[in-house]
Amino acid sequence: MIGVLIVWGSSYSISKVAMHYMSPFVLTMYRFGFGGLVLLLIGRGG
């Protein structure tokens, strides 16, 4: 739970910094890609 709390709480700060380097659409693409990869790994049991 602590890990989820840290990731959830820091997402705004990380997004704000990342917006200086990429557009919102690219940032969203990376977020969904990373989330999909994590869910794929969890779904396969790995």
pLDDT at 33: 95
pLDDT at 46: 61
Sequence ranges of the domains in the chain: 2-43
Closest CA to 23 of 31, 35, 13: 31
Evaluate whether 19 touches 27 at the Cβ level (below 8 Å). yes
pLDDT at 21: 92
Q: Distance (Å, rounded) from C-alpha 46 to C-alpha 43?
A: 8
Per-position pLDDT tens, the chain of length 46: 898 899 888 888 888 898 999 999 999 999 899 999 999 999 987 6
pLDDT at 22: 92
pLDDT at 23: 93
